[in-house]
Amino acid sequence: MDGTNSSAPRGPRRLRRDAEANRQRTLQAAREVFAERGLGVNLDDIARHAGVGVATSYRLFGNKQALINELFEERVDALAVVAEQAQTHDDPWEGFVGLVTTLLEMMAADRGLREVVFSEVGGRPLVAQARRRLMPAIDAVMHRAQDAGRLRPDLALTDLPLVFYMLSSVIQHTRPVSSAVWRRCLTIVLDGLHVGPRLTDMPVAALTNAEEEQVAGVNPTSS
């Protein structure tokens, strides 16, 4: 025996572990940077945020689009799980509400996700693929609530993307003033979709006059 610890990891295995650790750090950094700053950042920015070498990030992912693709797929996977759970929820209406709310919460928390979904640049193939995967499940959740007499029967599946677009615009424009006021708008929309004498309590306070003027851009210096 030469005294070397035979159980110590060999070079290639150690390199693979280091590469995977750097990959995970880069992915987490991309989640954070895209969510906060949107897709305008570059791979150099993400590498610095991750604390890894720029060359390492390019070696692991090649380009920023590869990171966008992987993180978008994560979001789609998570939403697919929520949609599956919504189809078996004890209350069909609450299943529908939960699915819509979760999707909008994702949008509210992630500027990059909003840009992928609603931008004409770079996101169309990703969104088309996500729609093919998710829309049948969303359709099933919607029809289940309609069959239970809880969701207005004239709501079409094609109405929902428009609702998401409308509320995403609210999220985008009100975020500098309030990160939660979009929930009031969602409550108004859901009460309009619900069948029956039901008025939901507003989840957050309304904007003040000064805040609304700031959102509208007529009082941009207001803090």
Query: DSSP secondary structure string, 174-217?
Result: HTTT-SSTHHHHHHHHHHHHB-SS--PPPSSPPPPHHHHHHHHT
Which pLDDT band, with edges at 50, 70 and 90, does 122 fall under?
Answer: low
Note the pLDDT tens digit of each residue in 203-221.
888 889 888 888 877 765 5
Note the pLDDT tens digit of each residue in 158-208.
999 999 999 999 999 999 999 999 999 999 999 999 997 667 788 888 889
pTM above 0.85, yes or no: no
Strand partners, 98: none
Virtual torsion, Cα 94, 96, 98, 99, nearest 10 deg: 160
- C-alpha dihedral sign at 35, 79, 98, 215: positive
Query: What is the mean pLDDT of the segment spanning 36-48?
Result: 93
Query: What is the mean pLDDT of the segment spanning 24-34?
Result: 95
Structure tokens at 64: 């920023």
